[in-house]
Structure 1
Amino acid sequence: PQDVLIGARWLDSQLTLVNVNKRRPILVQDNTDNITLPVFVASRNPNGPGEGGAAVVLDTHNMTHSEKAEEKAGRDLYHHNEFVSKKISIYRSLPSCWTNTCEQFVSKEMETLTLPEASVIIIFNNEAWTPLVRSVHSVLDRTPPSVLREVILVDDKSTLEHLHAPLDKYFREYKKVKIVRLPERKGLINARLRGVEVSSAPVLVFLDSHIECFKGWIESMLIRIAKNPRAVIFPVLEGIDKETFKVQCITSQTYYGDFEWKQLFFNWIEIPQREFKRRKSDADSFRSPTMPGGLFAISRQFFEHLGAYDPQMLFWGGENIELSFKTWMCNGSLELDPCSHVGHVFRKGVAAVGSINQSFRNSLRVAEIWMDDYKNYFYERSRYRIVKIGSLSDRQGLRKSLGCKSFAWYLENIFPEKAIPMCIVYAGEV
């Protein structure tokens, strides 16, 4: 049979199903509703393009003019090689990232622990078809049914046709997949808050819409949350090449989260030796000062206890740093899980809703609410300009009511390696 399907999918009998997260079959050539699905590969050919995370390299010399034009159009629209992605099965296999130590850790813990259920929340806006559908299938196929309550797709006002009726048709028989559509563009922060509102599981897992989960991606995160409900866990991010879609494993983690003083943006920094020495096993998590924020798991109760995301933040930017700071300062723990691996397409030049000023506004709110006098280093480095940032009283009241520690405590106890810019000239009235 053909591998490429247009407006249809393989029968379940033609697939090797992993678990009951799968849907009931939709018949091939089901065109009774006149809704045609985009082109995608739905086979499980073990030797197919991209299998095992392998790169797909195009033979550009033998591509037709129309194929080259299609490739360029997809790259211009999605900022990755969508032409290549369409050649790779939406069910493609990935290499195993689990070390023996991690596998033994998970097996031993699951002998005595009952893992909590999770709601997986994915926000998308004008995403290409195959990366989005492949993201969802990787969750469904590689998550134990007993812990996956639902996958919630929040459409942040997409305008591309394939993300409306075709997407509804594709997922309508997947009982665990729910699609929520926002009537106007909200941006990542408020779209995630909407996803939380309609979710129901005790653990929230946030993912981007162009990811692939590896085997064992969720079990160790849920184990850590079950043992410490105040732990916020994020996985090792395996880069998926935006041109070839090659992905491979990092089995020896050497970097965790940092932040820069200038914009309060996230950076990676080498994990200090003190943190390696603190760990007793290679399966132990790393206590990370910050997290990138695109992919993480958190107890619903703890997320709400922390005040969720700041509702006055606009669109995107700063929410990950705010959550990082307040997790540590308000008696939580932020951890990088070396046993959890998720692939991620890192794209450049993607235009996000909102402006740089709005992202800077979010960072100003973080500085004013959480950084105490250390906010002055941020102001000087960022060449502070006056921006209306909204009322701070509710969030400052939240911090006080939670009995959160000072930013000085955070730097001393969580991030002692963080260099403080001392050559500062303060501006103000004299």
Structure 2
Amino acid sequence: MAFELSPLDRELSNKTINENGFSVYVSGKIKIDRSIKDIRHPRCKGKLHSSNLTTASVIISFFEEHWETLLRTVASVLNRAPSGLIKEIILVDDGSSRKYLKDELDNHLATAYPSGIVRVIHLEQRGGLIRAKTAGAREATGEVLIFLDSHCEAGINWLPPLLDPIAANYKTVVCPFIDIIDANTFEYRAQDEGARGAFDWELYYKRLPRLPEDRYHPDEPFDSPVMAGGLFAISAKWFWELGGYDPGLVIWGGEQYELSFKIWMCGGRMIDAPCSRIDHIYRKNSTNFPKAEFGDFVGRNYK
């Protein structure tokens, strides 16, 4: 459900969008553990999964993330997954400067999750998304690594559809369907009913329609050539057998292609799982970009 904005709300909301790329004002009006509608295909709701699913480490890297948005991501991951499958959630602070993302965040998580299932790694300086993810993966102890962004909300029963294919073959990498959280109203809605990942000659990520044979089975996973990169599950064993992320890549950009190519070329498989839905905030503008000394990091990574 979208947050209804009065004229005054809209004015206050617009002032916060420039700083974060989404309405911090509206986010602050919504509960951390808000209820959401179930947007999965009806066939997903009665689907049975393996009883031998392995434990997962969820890795969420962030830089200057908004407080409520980060905490809502964590809450949704835990609240909408079966108990016992998540071994830990590792938040990786990529050198943020906002004070509330330091001791205040550590203390809040220690109080909210006294079991210690959620912990934070604070990097001394910014190394970028790729290196932050790698730092989290090195600390992870679960058999499966699940990488998520810090401004998303996991859907109902999101985890088993990601773990099931990996339990059958550890060289299978699984991506959820990525839906939309409106940057203005925080409405939670479906993007579409799935697409295959691709790219053009300038290496811009593209979405291609599902193959006709896949459309007859809307609840079944299907092959995808490349991933979007932000949200996916991979066996820890397979991730490190592939060499992890290329250490020469900086900040972000290109890592999704590099990993996708290695998965397919080294005997693995990559699929999208329609029954795992995770909503993501697509920022209205690009914020918190690296300082000038990093230069054209995307162009450098693509070479």
> How big is each residue's C-alpha offset from its partner over 1:317-371, in whole Å with a ceiling of 9 and x where there is no partner?
000011111111111111011010001000132343265622111111xxxxxxx
**How far off is 1:221 after superposition?**
0.8
Which whole-Å CA distance do the structure 1 matches of 2:214 and 2:43 have between them?
18
Determine the structure 1 residue equivalent to 2:169: 228
Determine which of 49, 71, 84 is the counterpart of 2:13: 71
Determine which of 140, 143, 146 is the counterpart of 2:81: 143
- Aligned residue pair count: 297
**3-state DSSP of counterpart to 1:86:** helix
Which whole-Å CA distance do the structure 1 matches of 2:102 and 2:228 have between them?
29
Which whole-Å CA distance do the structure 2 matches of 1:298 and 1:73 have between them?
39
Q: Is the 8 A contact 2:16 2:25 kept in 1?
A: yes
Determine which of 13, 16, 41 is the counterpart of 1:99: 41
**Partner amino acid, structure 2, of 1:103:** K
Which whole-Å CA distance do the structure 1 matches of 2:250 and 2:96 have between them?
18
**Partner amino acid, structure 2, of 1:309:** Y
Which whole-Å CA distance do the structure 2 matches of 1:203 and 1:292 have between them?
19
Larger Rg: 1
Which whole-Å CA distance do the structure 2 matches of 1:104 and 1:228 have between them?
23
> How big is each residue's C-alpha offset from its partner over 1:93-125, in whole Å with a ceiling of 9 and x where there is no partner?
1111333422333x2x33xx3110000000011
Which whole-Å CA distance do the structure 2 matches of 1:353 and 1:217 have between them?
32
The 5 A counterparts of 1:360-399 are 360-364=299-303
Which whole-Å CA distance do the structure 2 matches of 1:361 and 1:229 have between them?
32
The 5 A counterparts of 1:312-323 are 312-323=248-259
For normalisation by structure 2, the TM-score amounts to 0.93
Determine the structure 1 residue equivalent to 2:239: 303
Say yes or no: does 1:189 pair with 2:127: no
Runs (5+) with no aligned partner, structure 2: none
Say yes or no: does 1:261 pair with 2:201: yes
Which whole-Å CA distance do the structure 1 matches of 2:36 and 2:266 have between them?
38
**Partner amino acid, structure 1, of 2:299:** F
Which whole-Å CA distance do the structure 2 matches of 1:94 and 1:329 have between them?
39
The 5 A counterparts of 1:238-387 are 238-249=179-190, 253-262=193-202, 264-273=203-212, 275-276=214-215, 281-347=217-283, 348-353=285-290, 355=294, 357-364=296-303
Determine the structure 2 residue equivalent to 1:114: 52
**How far off is 1:274 after superposition?**
5.0
Which whole-Å CA distance do the structure 1 matches of 2:43 and 2:277 have between them?
14
Identify which of structures 1 and 2 has the higher relative contact order when contacts are C-alpha pairs closer than 8 Å and 6+ apart: 2
More displaced stretch, 264-273 vs 196-205: 264-273
Say yes or no: does 1:128 pair with 2:128: no
**How far off is 1:254 after superposition?**
4.2
Which whole-Å CA distance do the structure 1 matches of 2:125 and 2:259 have between them?
25
Q: Is the 8 A contact 1:189 1:315 kept in 2?
A: yes
Say yes or no: does 1:90 pair with 2:28: no
Q: Is the 8 A contact 2:56 2:86 kept in 1?
A: yes
Determine the structure 1 residue equivalent to 2:118: 177
Determine the structure 2 residue equivalent to 1:166: 104
Runs (5+) with no aligned partner, structure 1: 1-53, 365-430
Determine which of 148, 154, 162 is the counterpart of 1:207: 148
Query: Once superposed, what is the RMSD of the aligned Cα atoms?
Result: 1.8
**Partner amino acid, structure 2, of 1:189:** I
Q: Is the 8 A contact 2:60 2:92 kept in 1?
A: yes
Which whole-Å CA distance do the structure 2 matches of 1:303 and 1:325 have between them?
13
For normalisation by structure 1, the TM-score amounts to 0.66
Which whole-Å CA distance do the structure 1 matches of 2:164 and 2:40 have between them?
15
Q: Is the 8 A contact 1:156 1:187 kept in 2?
A: yes
Q: Is the 8 A contact 2:137 2:145 kept in 1?
A: yes
Q: Is the 8 A contact 1:220 1:340 kept in 2?
A: yes
**How far off is 1:273 after superposition?**
2.3
Which whole-Å CA distance do the structure 2 matches of 1:340 and 1:119 have between them?
17
The 5 A counterparts of 1:53-68 are 54-60=1-7, 62=8, 68=11
> How big is each residue's C-alpha offset from its partner over 1:124-166, in whole Å with a ceiling of 9 and x where there is no partner?
1101111101000001111222111000000001111211122
Q: Is the 8 A contact 2:40 2:274 kept in 1?
A: no
Q: Is the 8 A contact 1:98 1:216 kept in 2?
A: no
Which whole-Å CA distance do the structure 1 matches of 2:257 and 2:143 have between them?
23
Which whole-Å CA distance do the structure 2 matches of 1:225 and 1:238 have between them?
22
Q: Is the 8 A contact 1:314 1:362 kept in 2?
A: yes
Which whole-Å CA distance do the structure 2 matches of 1:356 and 1:328 have between them?
31
**Partner amino acid, structure 2, of 1:56:** F
**3-state DSSP of counterpart to 1:196:** helix
Which whole-Å CA distance do the structure 2 matches of 1:243 and 1:340 have between them?
24
**How far off is 1:275 after superposition?**
4.5
**How far off is 1:237 after superposition?**
0.7
Q: Is the 8 A contact 1:232 1:334 kept in 2?
A: yes
Which structure dedicates a bigger proportion of its chain to strand? 2
**Partner amino acid, structure 2, of 1:134:** R
Q: Is the 8 A contact 1:91 1:134 kept in 2?
A: yes
